[in-house]
Amino acid sequence: MNKPLISVKDLTVRFHTDEGLITAVDNVSFDIAPGEVLGLVGESGSGKSVTAKSLMQLNAGNTQYDEKSSIILNVDDQEIDVLSLKNDSELRIVRGGAISMIFQEPMASFAPAITIGDQMVEQLLIHSSMTKKEASEFSIEMLERVGIPDASQRFKQYAFEFSGGMRQRAMIAMALSTKPQLLIADEPTTALDVTIQAQVIDLMKDLVSEFGMGILFITHDLGVIAQTADRVAVMYLGNLIETGTVRQVIREPHHPYTLGLLNALPKLDDLEAPLTPVPGDIPSPLERPSGCVFHTRCPQNLGARCETEIPKLLKGAKNRMTACHLVEENGASKS
Ligand code: SF4
């Protein structure tokens, strides 16, 4: 059996804060195969970004990974234990090497006082054996590939001279120029207007099939996931609560939270249909509810069992997984 590109097992991430130890990610496990797009979905505060940053050890200095946590990256017949990487030179294997990350706000990726070209070249000099001239030519080629007109001129400009959509394209060009095996895309289209969003999604899909990389695509928007991902993992308050193929999860959600996210989406075929938001707000991680972490907002809360017993993420038919007592009692997780 082929090894997954990355295998995350029992990932638990806590932060030391003035208020105490906060659990941001709780016992999360998932794999991504080479060439697969996994969509990680959830509201702000669900732990998506902390999970993603863990794959490159990019979380803040006050982070504590539970000792059971494991992240194994399989690249070039090598098995890299990501959480055991310590110093900068070891971490460079994953940061900008085997893994690249693109962010919602591309200004966060570019130093404002250095030209886009110089930043792209510097990254290639660190992560490849190219000469400066080769790195410059390849960077211009990548800018052209992502549809930036006058790429050789744009190469000499600063990030502030680019429009929002153009900056996003430049960031994708920079992230892909080192040919990473895994791309982490953290809300890459959220700040863009809808037409540019569609262009960027199409561009990413094209480049993924050409480069054959795996992608972890993070978003709160199930509509974007439907267009981009092969499989979906839904997170709530640091827990993985449902996984499955896009078709399974979007057509027939099992977990009440996933159903709530879908009911909150506008329906183009029925503009009169009322939007039904998930009631209440996601609780503070300092006040994690007992039992099922969703029980304080769940319209189908079963009472004592939901409020005291943590539901396990159980495998059902066709490799779907759901963490919900109701689903378990109804037999869907065993079918
Ligand atoms: Fe709702 Fe209970 Fe399922 Fe949690 S375990 S999602 S509270 S029904």
- Considering the domain boundaries, does residue 108 fall inside one? no
311 lines ligand 1 (CB under 6 A): yes
Same domain, 16 and 56: yes
Closest atom of ligand 1 to 306 CA is 2
Ligand 1 centroid to Cα of residue 322, in Å, is: 10
297 lines ligand 1 (CB under 6 A): no
Closest atom of ligand 1 to 299 CA is 1
Q: Mean pLDDT across the stretch 187-193?
A: 76
300 lines ligand 1 (CB under 6 A): yes
Q: Is the distance from CB of 286 to CB of 22 less than 8 angstroms?
A: yes
Lowest-confidence region among 92-96, 117-121, 212-216, 308-312 = 92-96
Angle between the 194-211 and 164-177 helix axes, to the nearest 10 degrees?
10
What is the per-residue pLDDT across 119-168, written as a single tens digit (0 to 9) for each? 999 999 988 899 999 999 999 999 998 888 999 999 999 999 998 888 88
291 lines ligand 1 (CB under 6 A): no
Nearest residue (by CA) to ligand 1, atom 5, is 324
Helix (H, G, I), strand (E, B) or coil at 169: helix
Same domain, 294 and 200: yes
What is the per-residue pLDDT across 216-273, written as a single tens digit (0 to 9) for each? 999 888 888 888 899 999 999 999 999 999 999 999 999 999 999 988 877 766 667 7
- Considering the domain boundaries, does residue 284 fall inside one? yes
Q: Is the distance from CB of 82 to CB of 7 less than 8 angstroms?
A: no
The domain containing residue 154 runs over which residues? 113-178
- Considering the domain boundaries, does residue 103 fall inside one? no
- Considering the domain boundaries, does residue 1 fall inside one? no
77, 79, 80, 82 alpha-carbon torsion, rounded to 10°: 140
Residue 108's pLDDT is 74
Same domain, 132 and 187: no
The pairing of beta strand 70-75 with beta strand 6-17: antiparallel
Last residue of a domain, one of 178, 211, 231: 178
Residue whose C-alpha is closest to residue 258's, from 228, 199, 300: 300
Same domain, 162 and 244: no
Same domain, 93 and 130: no
Pocket test residue of 278, 282, 300, 330 for ligand 1, highest count of atoms within 8 A of CB: 300
Residue 316's pLDDT is 85
Tokens of 321: 């997984």
Ligand 1 centroid to Cα of residue 232, in Å, is: 19
pLDDT above 60 for 334 = no
What is the per-residue pLDDT across 258-309, written as a single tens digit (0 to 9) for each? 999 988 877 766 667 777 888 888 898 888 999 999 999 999 999 999 999 9
CA–CA gap between residue 71 and residue 88 (Å, rounded): 18
Residue 258's pLDDT is 94
Closest atom of ligand 1 to 325 CA is 5
pLDDT above 50 for 13 = yes
Same domain, 291 and 224: yes
39 lines ligand 1 (CB under 6 A): no
Same domain, 45 and 186: yes
Amino acid present at 72:
I
Say whether pTM exceeds 0.85: yes
Nearest residue (by CA) to ligand 1, atom 7, is 295
